[in-house]
Amino acid sequence: MAILSDIIGPLGQMSAALFQQLGDELLRAIYKPINIESRGTKEGQVKTVKGSPDTVFTMSDGKVLIEYTTQSNRPKNQFVAKLKNDIDSCINIKKTRIPIDEIKEIVLVSNQRIAIDIQDNLRTYLWKQYPDIKLTIFSIDDIATKLRQVPRILQEYLGIVTFPNLVEIDSFIKRFSSTKFSYLTPINNPYFEIDAQPISKGLELLKANDFLIISGEPGMGKTRYAIEIAKAFSDMTGTEAFVIEEKNRNIRETLDNVDKNVSYLFIIDDANRTAIWDEAIEFYEHTLNSNVKFIATVRSYALDSVITKCSNLVKVEQIAMSESPEDLASKILTSFGITNALWHKRINNITGKNIRLAVMCAQIALAGKKYNDLINVEGVYDAYYKPFFERLISDCTDCKLIKVVAIISFYKVVDLEETSLLDQIEHVFGLESSEFKSICRKLDDLECISITDDDIATIEDQNFGTYAFYKCFYVLKELSLSNLIENLHNRRERLRDSIFSVWNCFHKKEVIDFSRSSISDAWKSLSVSIKEEREKCEFLEVFGGAIPALTFLYIKNLIKENKFDDFSHSYVNSDIILSILSNFSHSEESDTATALALIVEFLKSHPNKMESAVKIISEHWIYDDIDYANSYKRETNIIEVLIDLSKESETGFILASCVLPSFLKFSYQYSRIKGRNFVIGRYAVVITDELKTNRKRIWEWINSNIVNLNQSVLLSDLYEDFYEVKSIARKLISAELDFINDCVSKLNITEDFNVCKNLETLRQRIKAIMGKDLLQIDWSKANRHYLLDCQISKVRKQRCNRLYDFERENIAQIIKTKSVTELINFCKDIAHISHYKNIGDDVRISYVIECAFELSQESGFELWQYCIDQGLYFIPTRIISTYYSKGHDLAELVGFIGSQRLNLKSDLLLAYIVIIDNASSLVSASDFCKAIRHHSLEWFTIDGLCNRYFSAESFDNGCRSIMAALIYRIRNAMSIAGSEEFLLKFCKRHQSKTDLVKYAYISAIKSQDKFDYNHKLLKYLLQISPQFWVECCKAFPTFVTKYQIHPYEFIWDIENYSIVIESTLQYYGAMAYFPYSEKENLYSFFCNLKDDTAANFIDDMIYKYCQNSNISSIIFEIISSYMGSFRIRHYITFISSNTNLTDFRQLDLFPHSMTGGDSFAPAIKCRIEFLESLIVEIRKLKDKINYLEHIQYLTEEKESLVREYEFELKRGHKHRLYDL
């Protein structure tokens, strides 16, 4: 079987016409219609035409109307509107020409995900209009799951036949040292640990993470390092370690079935060249197995794409291979017994720090070759692989053997039974399929390639494949590289991997020039033949960096013609332009300058993409791991280009103002190996004189343009974390201090509050690093509100009180001699400060009002009224507490409260009742009830307020008025938060009013997320009225999910639980549809029970409802999915109560999966065993003669499953081609 992710990817990219044809075939297999009319497909062509519906199935009992949707990258509301429009079209007689009474079902099929809540809404939408018409929805996940059951369609339309395998590490090592494929570079030679790359470092990272990504250039020893880490980790922890092979890639299924009680470590070699990486990530994201770890190796050029795929994961760490020491090649040669100093010198000159080349040279020496035969890297490959190529050439004069090896190298794996792939090879390379297969068999006999039992052809050593590709396309030129690129331009990943692998192995001018020439020739043809600009951009996204002149010309025209539309499939998504131009971050200086200039031109017409451009340039264009070795010349060029662009246009200035300051903001990183250092992005920054010069150049530009910059943003994060590396930071700051102070002198601290705030933070950072104040700041010119905020928040004594207490004391000190007018202005200033700091002002305003009451009662009331009139926030309880503590007249306070508008009056009155004892002496019961009706606060509980106001004797009478107030709030759509305890007490005291409480409960849960969060009120209502559960479901269909009533957690504890569950079954059995969330929650009634309670109850329900097909269907969905060992008992109960075979055939025998089935082998075996056991139990019945038809039906089902199982085993879970 195929992996779901392998199916979903191609499905999501299918054209509308092809997707519709696939859908028709799939649904034909599901529905088995009498007749089919495909209105939406052009006859005899893979094209769509307008028609409604897209397809009509004629069934024996009516018609099924099918609509297909392939919209992608659309906003959710537009996508949903399209689906609703499809429904409307199907029930529009003028469009369909089909009477409504003939329509039994509408089917919506989409190659996008459709959320469950959207599906439920769509079903409701149709049901309200035509309850008798069923709506079925197949989203991309449903289609992928169904396609797994129809291998023929899966293969014909998507070319997928895949299953992976695992190889033990020792077996993996032995294969590279075997005599069968003697061209493999052995990896069983002694391992020389690099000081900067110890195994202990990898172990440390692997212990703390679940994914370890090892990156580096080809030949650096990534695979060997991964193996050594895996072996050490396995020895230390007992973990079982495997290499995940490209052949038979059923990796997801394999991973799903590993023993969850055993710890596993999997190595994925060359993760950038395999889809296994995606499958491993998908498995990790969805599994509950916490005993699995992965090590992936990846070539440096593909590191970003590999890391992007796991960007959502937390436990991921990346480690870059360190450069090998100068003497490593000599150590390797010595380990092979080669001590000749001339050999060592020559090989060191050729291999440099490439470990693999050194091992290959050792093998050449052992084969008796002379050192002076080796001239360069190509000479090493020639000497190493010469015996095999001589056999290929001598065996086939027209070089067809070499062609086939190169072709397999390009595809990486070739399924010799994959007709579509063989047709493609014939079309592109001119090798007819039977001839190609024959040559593959010969190559297998010559031990140049390997053909598995599943007819999968592969090359065991990727370096041999790269060399074959190089010889065929670059040296012998038996096949045309430009023709390959032109014809297979949609296989961009394979093209990139093949061409760039040759670049990395044979990095010489002739190779690069030929590659660029071939790409250029292919582009000249493709730019004419490809009609959609989007496809052209996707090609340039991979290869544009190799043909700068042509790429820039195309981008200029694209920007000029403005052919961008982020929502069109044909036009260009604007983000891809930035991606293409990013290819030139490491190009020639002139190309980098041109790319930046084009980015500015693009941003002029797309200013909304400024943030994306800034992020790309700031994080990915500068400070790579080896830039310091080149004296940061690339960074110097980028900085100078940005400065020049800032002078030419406003857009250029905005880009420079966002990017250049970011280059100053290094982050801190600590590792046990490298210690403390600065990083920007992923790479460590080495402080050199050239880097310091670049920073000074940026500071000069900043200081000359400071007036026009966002000064607050500039100061934020500047020198943050520098104190972590003080030794380096002090040197940097000392060198830049004059620039910093020059910048500080030009800052607008008088007008801008946030500039003052960030400047103070910067001052503290620099002081922490340098040990003293070095910034020359004239705080007398600082913003008035900032200085006032400093006065308010100033801390005089440490560790004495909370910050709020300090602020209260400071405010009291500031306003002790102020008049009311000055206090009003003071409150205005506090409101401004709160706005600048983006914090609430209620605490500080409350402090001012409290202090005003301490001065005099009249001042307090006057200031309080001003704050109320201006809409300023305050904390009523604090003010009332202070008023009360000062002994002021409470009658005056109640009078002040009574003079306010209704809502505020209610809030203040309730705060008064919370604070003041015996509040009923001044507040009437009528006013209290009015306050309950109109209040807007939710920090108190109604029950608590009643306890404060009413005495025990008066509560019974008072609670009726409070209940009336709550009903008033409900009818006026106002919240009744905090009333749960009150409603519970009221219900217990006045059981005749239970319906009123039910009404209040349902109204509250509709509008409040956390009402009755502990479900105490619901539990009591269900105890006295079990049918209330269904009332809740009717009133609010998703209340179980929304209010986190975890799978009917308390139902079994209720004495009348049977009524609750039975009424639920009756309710949903009578409905036209059953919401997924409610179905899951109903099923959970029967989970995790230790005794026979659920089983006995289900038997009762079967006896009672075995003649009701709808309820029986629900019951047996529960049985098949959740009842485990009781399943057979319940099926026996059913046929004992209802002998009708037709009814029995409608029951589910196996569990449903909403997100994709179980793994093939264990799932189908379990089903076969279940049917066998069920048949045995039926035969034990006394009157078994009545059940012969049942036994025959089950036997036929079992035999069908056995045939399916045997077919799958015979088919061998064939491997699908990567990215075909």
Task: State pLDDT tens for residues 854-912.
Answer: 888 999 999 999 999 999 999 999 999 999 998 899 999 999 999 999 999 999 999 99
Distance set, CA 553 to CA 532, 598, 1104, 1173 (Å): 17, 10, 78, 72
| For residue 450, pLDDT beyond 90 | no
Query: Following DSSP, what letter does each residue of 817-838 receive, concatenated?
Result: T--HHHHHHHHHHHHHHHHHHT
| For residue 501, pLDDT beyond 80 | yes
Per-residue pLDDT reduced to its tens digit, 544-584: 999 999 999 999 998 888 877 655 555 677 788 888 998 89
Q: Can you tell me the distance from the alpha carbon of 127 to that of 1071, in angstroms, rounded to the nearest whole number?
A: 10
| For residue 1153, pLDDT beyond 50 | no
Phi, psi (degrees; rounded to nearest 5) at 39: -75, -25
Q: Considering only residues 359 and 1200, tell me which one the structure prediction assigns the higher pLDDT.
A: 1200
pLDDT tier at 39, thresholds 50, 70, 90: confident
Q: Can you tell me the distance from the alpha carbon of 176 to that of 184, in angstroms, rounded to the nearest whole number?
A: 5
The long-range contacts involving 1166-1174, CB below 8 angstroms and separated by at least 24 positions, are 1167/1201, 1168/1198, 1168/1201, 1168/1202, 1168/1205, 1170/1127, 1170/1128, 1171/1197, 1171/1198, 1171/1201, 1172/1198, 1173/1128, 1174/1128, 1174/1131, 1174/1132
Q: Can you tell me the distance from the alpha carbon of 500 to that of 490, in angstroms, rounded to the nearest whole number?
A: 17
Instruction: Supply the pLDDT for residue 683.
Output: 66
Query: Following DSSP, what letter does each residue of 976-1022 receive, concatenated?
Result: -TT-HHHHHHHHHH-GGGHHHHHHHHHHHHHH-TTTTTT-HHHHHHH
- If residue 214 lies in a helix (H) or strand (E), which one and from where to where? strand 211-216
Q: Considering only residues 395 and 1021, tell me which one the structure prediction assigns the higher pLDDT.
A: 1021
| For residue 440, pLDDT beyond 60 | yes
* Residue whose tokens read 């439920």: 120
Instruction: Supply the pLDDT for residue 565.
Output: 67
| For residue 928, pLDDT beyond 90 | yes
Q: Which of 486-500, 661-675, 957-971 has the lowest mean pLDDT?
A: 661-675
- If residue 413 lies in a helix (H) or strand (E), which one and from where to where? strand 413-415
- Mean pLDDT, rounded, of the chain: 82
The full length of the chain comes to 1220
CATH architecture of 165-323: 3-Layer(aba) Sandwich (3.40)
Task: Name which of 210, 207, 244, 206 is nearest 225 in CA terms.
Answer: 206
Distance set, CA 1061 to CA 555, 598, 1090, 1129 (Å): 65, 67, 18, 20
Q: Are 637 and 593 in contact (CB under 8 A)?
A: yes
Give 580: exposed, middle or buried? Use CB within 10 Å, 0-12, 13-18, 19+.
Answer: buried
pLDDT tier at 410, thresholds 50, 70, 90: very high
Q: Can you tell me the distance from the alpha carbon of 333 to that of 1151, in angstroms, rounded to the nearest whole number?
A: 61
Q: Please, what is the angle between helix 533-543 and helix 509-529, to 10°?
A: 170
* Bond preceding residue 387 cis, omega within 30 of 0: no
Output the furthest CA–CA distance in the chain (Å, rounded).
Answer: 114
Instruction: Supply the pLDDT for residue 658.
Output: 92
pLDDT tier at 1208, thresholds 50, 70, 90: low
| For residue 34, pLDDT beyond 90 | no
Instruction: Supply the pLDDT for residue 802.
Output: 64
Q: Is 1185 helix (H, G, I), strand (E, B) or coil?
A: helix
Share of the chain above pLDDT 70, in %: 83
| For residue 58, pLDDT beyond 70 | yes
- Both tokens of 321, joined, read 């291979």
Q: Are 283 and 252 in contact (CB under 8 A)?
A: yes
Instruction: Supply the pLDDT for residue 136.
Output: 93
Instruction: Supply the pLDDT for residue 162.
Output: 42
Q: Can you tell me the distance from the alpha carbon of 342 to that of 534, in angstroms, rounded to the nearest whole number?
A: 55
Give 1053: exposed, middle or buried? Use CB within 10 Å, 0-12, 13-18, 19+.
Answer: exposed
Q: Per DSSP, what are the bridge partners of residue 58?
A: 35, 63
The predicted model scores a pTM of 0.60
| For residue 976, pLDDT beyond 70 | yes
Instruction: Supply the pLDDT for residue 346.
Output: 67
Q: Considering only residues 272 and 849, tell me which one the structure prediction assigns the higher pLDDT.
A: 849
- Both tokens of 551, joined, read 């790429």
Q: Which of 48-52, 606-610, 879-883 has the lowest mean pLDDT?
A: 48-52
Instruction: Give residues with Cβ within 8 angstroms of 1091, minimum separation 6.
Output: none
Instruction: Please report the sign of the dihedral spanned by the C-alpha atoms of residue 487, residue 489, residue 490, residue 495.
Output: positive
Instruction: Supply the pLDDT for residue 915.
Output: 92
Per-residue pLDDT reduced to its tens digit, 1110-1119: 888 888 887 8
Instruction: Supply the pLDDT for residue 706.
Output: 93
Domains of the chain by residue range: 4-158, 165-323, 330-374, 381-508, 530-610, 1089-1220
| For residue 756, pLDDT beyond 90 | yes
Per-residue pLDDT reduced to its tens digit, 65-75: 999 988 766 77
Distance set, CA 1198 to CA 884, 1170, 1191, 1204 (Å): 83, 9, 10, 10
Q: Are 39 and 54 in contact (CB under 8 A)?
A: yes
Q: Can you tell me the distance from the alpha carbon of 234 to that of 240, in angstroms, rounded to the nearest whole number?
A: 6
Q: Are 66 and 56 in contact (CB under 8 A)?
A: yes
Q: Per DSSP, what are the bridge partners of residue 59?
A: 62
- Both tokens of 878, joined, read 């604090």
Q: Can you tell me the distance from the alpha carbon of 912 to that of 919, in angstroms, rounded to the nearest whole number?
A: 7
Instruction: Supply the pLDDT for residue 874.
Output: 92
Instruction: Supply the pLDDT for residue 429.
Output: 92
Q: Considering only residues 29 and 862, tell me which one the structure prediction assigns the higher pLDDT.
A: 862
Supply the CATH classification number for the domain 4-158. Answer: 3.40.91.50
Per-residue pLDDT reduced to its tens digit, 682-737: 667 778 888 889 999 999 999 999 999 999 989 988 887 776 777 778 888 888 99
Query: Following DSSP, what letter does each residue of 123-153 receive, concatenated?
Result: HHHHHHH-TTSEEEEE-HHHHHHHHTT-HHH
Q: Are 413 and 457 in contact (CB under 8 A)?
A: yes
Q: Are 1086 and 1052 in contact (CB under 8 A)?
A: no
Q: Per DSSP, what are the bridge partners of residue 320?
A: 215
Per-residue pLDDT reduced to its tens digit, 108-156: 999 888 888 888 889 999 998 888 899 999 998 888 888 865 655 776 7
Q: Per DSSP, what are the bridge partners of residue 37?
A: 56
| For residue 248, pLDDT beyond 60 | no
Instruction: Supply the pLDDT for residue 1058.
Output: 78
Q: Can you tell me the distance from the alpha carbon of 467 to that of 1002, in angstroms, rounded to the nearest whole number?
A: 73
Instruction: Supply the pLDDT for residue 863.
Output: 94
Q: Can you tell me the distance from the alpha carbon of 16 to that of 1, in angstroms, rounded to the nearest whole number?
A: 25
Q: Can you tell me the distance from the alpha carbon of 439 to that of 423, in angstroms, rounded to the nearest whole number?
A: 16
Q: Can you tell me the distance from the alpha carbon of 449 to that of 433, in angstroms, rounded to the nearest whole number?
A: 17
Q: Can you tell me the distance from the alpha carbon of 43 to that of 1107, in angstroms, rounded to the nearest whole number?
A: 47
Per-residue pLDDT reduced to its tens digit, 171-190: 777 767 655 545 566 677 77
